[in-house]
Amino acid sequence: MESAHPPSYAGLYPYLQRFERDFDYQGAMEWMDTNWTQCVHWCVFYVLMIVLGQRWMQNRTKYTLRGPLIGWNLLLGMFSVLGTIRFVPPLVSDVREHGFEWTLCSATWYRDPVLHLWGSAFAFSKVLEFGDTVFIILRKQKLIFLHWYHHVTVLFYVWLSYKEQLAGGRWFIALNYGVHATMYMYYAARAAGIYIPRKVAMVITSSQTLQMVIGCVINYVSYKLLFVDKVPGCSASLTNIVVSSVMYFSYLLLFLHFFYGAYVRKSKLEKKEQ
């Protein structure tokens, strides 16, 4: 199923910049292949940051940080918008031309400099997103298990998948870029004091939950292609499928639990109080 050369996506990139076109994707692949285990160090650093940060803030007055929080969310929101613009059109094009299953087996997109640039940026952004937790700690907000568990496991899995050049990774990247584009813009608006209807938050949480459902489906189809259909040259592995399945299914359960607590149960309590 693998081809010698990646499909041409030249016509799908509006306002293509030179740094994107000339990105050294081979050097990036070599770096990730050699250094992907650094993500473990970042995960350890993140957990220590949480423990020590909360202890440091325990007897201190919380920070407001309204301006920095708005800027932070706008930055990540715009980054996600740009990533969506770059990742979604080629994915849709390949599904139309080759089919869904082809996109789960062909890793040729790693040799497209533009996609690889934004894929690499996505991988490193998982470290940058630790900043979300910094704001929670400094503002002394409640840090739920879903939040920090998600940050740790996503970083590890993304770097592992990039090292393995997982074909279906483009689906996970495109979905995450799209959901985060909306999510961070919503957070920026909330931080700015702009009124946002509660239904918008419900839609965002629903889209996050749907992302996890799609992730589980992708893992199931990938397993079928690899071990039932035995597609030759399919860029997937049992280890990755198992890790991804455990991760996405746990996310699904946690997001469903969060949705119920934040919207369903809360709505019932509000009706009782009335």
The domain tally of the chain equals 1
Q: Residue 242 is part of which domain span?
A: 22-273
272 — pLDDT class (breaks 50, 70, 90): low
Asked if the structure places residue 140 within a domain, the reply is: yes
Phi, psi dihedrals of residue 176, rounded to the nearest 5° = -65, -40
| 133-144 pLDDT per residue, tens | 999 999 999 999
99: in domain: yes
- pLDDT at position 185 is 98
pLDDT bucket at 231, cuts 50 / 70 / 90: very high
d(C-alpha 69, C-alpha 95), whole Å: 38
Query: Residue 13 falls within a domain, yes or no?
Result: no
Is residue 200 a contact partner of residue 186, using CB atoms and an 8 Å limit?
yes
Task: Return the CA Rg of the chain.
Answer: 20
C-alpha–C-alpha distance, residues 210 and 189, integer Å: 23
Residue 96 lies in a domain: yes
The pairs formed by 59-67 with CB atoms below 8 angstroms and a separation of 24 or more are 62/138, 62/139, 62/140, 63/138, 63/139, 64/139, 65/135, 65/138, 65/139, 66/191, 66/192
Is 149 inside any structural domain?
A: yes
Tell me, what amino acid is at 184? Y
Specify the pLDDT at position 230: 95
Provide, rounded to the nearest whole percent, the portion of the chain with pLDDT above 70.
95
Catalytic residue among 41, 147, 150, 257: 150
* Res 8: pLDDT: 77
In a domain, 16, yes or no: no
- The answer to pTM > 0.85 is yes
In a domain, residue 134? The reply is yes
What is the predicted pLDDT for the residue at 270? 62
CB 113 within 8 Å of CB 21: yes
116 in a domain, yes or no? yes
Q: 98 catalytic, yes or no? A: no
